[in-house]
Structure 1
């Protein structure tokens, strides 16, 4: 990677799912990070792809305008435009991709494509007073609604997936469990909230036996469903009377599954630097479990600010900056990729 003293302004756009985000970075420093959330999906208990893409079309111009205004820069100062190429919902990705291509063409600046999951990992390199960047190599745990992966990060763009979910992602397991309990969407944060008030060992749930560093959460989801059906048949008020304990037990099981695989990776690879990323990394129990392992197992853990856990354009911007230094640009022929491996 070449060094440069030049001030590089990256305008970044993220539209992989249901959040429209735009950010401006000056080199590694975030100047703005605007996120427009879509409330419309709450009524449906999950993200509706067609509605998401329509909302992106409404939100993207105001989000970009606001990001430039908050950064207090004119669009003519923009050095390059970075955007999420994938993975994600195709309709949502198309909005961000098309907008980025058009704006780059209009401003006559380079276009930089970004892998959304790489961005979650590399968000640790945004310069913030409260954040410290890991050194290479380190192990990353990427946990979101669509992904659960353990990744060996050897350099900015040299990553190896050691293990991943064979079925449901951890965020999906949280949301589906919440739905079984009758909690509104998005249910994951609510499970975390109620779990903090309950007994984590009140109701034991089975942990799947999966080889290597891979994960599986579908069996856990099914066991929770059968457990709730069985108990509510005996007592129709079982959920409301035991909600905190149920949530605590679900969370305890999920965190245990994640930490077991992570401990295995750290022990076998001998790398004690661990970073997390993705929407579920905002979970309080996962953060607590990582911090505990700093004391008991000698790990050095890197936990992003909440702002960089959920989908946001600042993390797209930091990847854009790093690629800019490498001269790694794309062209107007690039297309969105709903399926886009972190190693592609």
Structure 2
């Protein structure tokens, strides 16, 4: 069974049903039923036209649902007859599905879940596993999201920035369960970048590729975190780095700068350095200045403080950090690092321990605890 093929066909099949008059929620249910049927039937009897088979089965499932629901009797005049057999229309509705699934009335978590289900072709179980929540909880979230967008006109223009933000959220979820969400986000962003002429879509794809290229070096064999400066750069994926840099250069050449292009430029500078010591921190600070201008984000300013500490020394980094709210996530960890760089090991050890208590996940907590223990052991000697 070619699961990748099924997932790639999902958005176009769903789009065809919606164009025929099915409302989004009912069409999405019918497509999911057709996918289940394909998994059951195809291994023994693969179709010659996979997309046509899915459209036919999904449409029949939709008609069955419609006819059995007394509350929808009035719609039967529109959908009572099955369209005549023939080739399925060669229209790509994927972009419209992106816009529909990231409708502003949805919360970010609902938009992510609906995008993975309707555009990505993932099952509710797979999405629930990836987000470490019960399947029933995820089913309710997706059901509410589908009801929310069911009344939205399919041909309304959408906001590309919102779509990109949702894909970025998917990418940052990384990997859990049996679905690699980082790889899935890259696949979907490739699809989007091919469908629209937008430098920020290309910038996001470049950013994902550059970050994903370092994935193998981010963890030790025991699963513990390895910071960027200590990673074995021989484990980085040079092909993905080259592709990401090429996509980024083409996007930057269009002179329509956006935040994802800037983030990708920073990632490219890290990837380009043969060693951590050879990183061009001065240029990274300049890019962070640009990113601050574009977003005015406190998190960006926090990351800039780290870069300033590398480019101009730890005291300059601490001065930049002092301008920020100390309740920011990872503020304490950055303070610990900069104090250690400045030689104040007592303050650094205390701050590492404090940061460990605030860590958002177990891997970070273990890393920060080890840093505190390392400094305390050194001071004891």
- Same fold, judged at TM 0.5 (above): no
The structure carrying a bigger helix percent of its residues is 2
Higher relative contact order (CA 8 A, sep 6+): 1
What is the TM-score normalised by the length of structure 1? 0.29
The structure carrying a bigger strand percent of its residues is 1
Which has the higher Rg, Structure 1 or Structure 2? 2
